Amino acid sequence: MSSSLRRGALAASAIVFSIASLAACGAGNNSQTLEIKPDNAATSVGAIKIQNASIITQPDLKAAGPAVISATVFNSGKTDQTLQSITVAGSSEPVKLSPAKGQSLTIPAHGSLLIGGKDNASAVIASGREAVQDGNAQKVTFTFSQTGPVNLRAFVVPATSYFSGWGPSEIPSASAGTSAAPGATGAAANGKPGKHGKTTPSATATATATDTATTGATPSDSASQSAAGH
């Protein structure tokens, strides 16, 4: 092979190698897939860092009831800090803070505080549907004893799928008045015949009460039953 042909082959090999190297770099540390950020909100101010902040509503979109805020708070400072309050912008509904059983709302130095989930501290919005709307990213302010207010935007999600274990522990159920009707029906069905094959007065009264209770069910009772069914 002549020297000119050898030089051409080497040049072609160098070009192919360069293209392969560039392609490999495209899937490396700076690839687009690694630049995708998770949906959970996070921020830090001073020694306080908040991660995985979410507002979690009832699993049924039509159900009324409380919503909760979940987050993990880290304190990298040398002194303890206390979580004093949480507020949701655009809502007049207060957020009720409660520590875990036997604990406090203090974030120890170089420690953390978990909010939401079983046996953890809780942050509850009593009227969740009036305060937030699923799909929104709402501004939430955490206020600490030393750092002061820390703001971020938390996504509002229903308590389904991954969030089912972190959602409100209080789920709407059927009202007491509605649940009484099936019992009354059962009592009427068990009425024993009296003399001459006629039902006793008590059985007749029970059946009448059953009909009245069933007919008098309000739309709100039906809505509650529907919410509980979901």
Tokens 């987050």 -> residue: 71
Q: Which residues of the chain have pLDDT under 50?
A: 16-38, 172-230
For residue 194, the one-letter residue type is G
- Would you say residue 4 lies in a domain? no
Identify whether residues 79 and 94 lie together within a single domain: yes
Identify whether residues 45 and 73 lie together within a single domain: yes
- Residue 119 to residue 111: CA distance in whole angstroms: 18
Identify whether residues 58 and 148 lie together within a single domain: yes
CATH code for position 64: 2.60.40.1890
- How many angstroms separate the Cα of 206 from the Cα of each of 158, 182, 198? 42, 12, 15
User: Which pLDDT score is estimated for 127?
Assistant: 79
pLDDT in tens, 11-26: 555 554 444 444 444 4
95 touches 69 (CB < 8 A): yes
76 touches 83 (CB < 8 A): no
98 touches 121 (CB < 8 A): yes
Q: What is the pTM of this model?
A: 0.56
Identify whether residues 60 and 45 lie together within a single domain: yes
- Residue 225 to residue 68: CA distance in whole angstroms: 23
- Would you say residue 45 lies in a domain? yes
Q: Which domain holds residue 112?
A: 41-165
- Angle (nearest 5°) at CA 128 between 124 and 130: 140
Identify whether residues 144 and 190 lie together within a single domain: no
Identify whether residues 19 and 50 lie together within a single domain: no
Identify whether residues 71 and 149 lie together within a single domain: yes
User: Which pLDDT score is estimated for 103?
Assistant: 94
SS3 200: coil
User: Which pLDDT score is estimated for 8?
Assistant: 56
- Would you say residue 198 lies in a domain? yes
Interstrand relation of 148-158 and 137-144 (parallel, antiparallel or unpaired): antiparallel
- Would you say residue 1 lies in a domain? no
User: Which pLDDT score is estimated for 188?
Assistant: 40
Identify whether residues 154 and 82 lie together within a single domain: yes
Identify whether residues 125 and 66 lie together within a single domain: yes
User: Which pLDDT score is estimated for 132?
Assistant: 83
For the chain, the domain total comes to: 3
Q: Of all helices (H) and strands (E), which one includes residue 213? A: helix 201-215
Identify whether residues 19 and 123 lie together within a single domain: no
- Would you say residue 16 lies in a domain? yes
Identify whether residues 148 and 49 lie together within a single domain: yes
User: Which pLDDT score is estimated for 15?
Assistant: 53
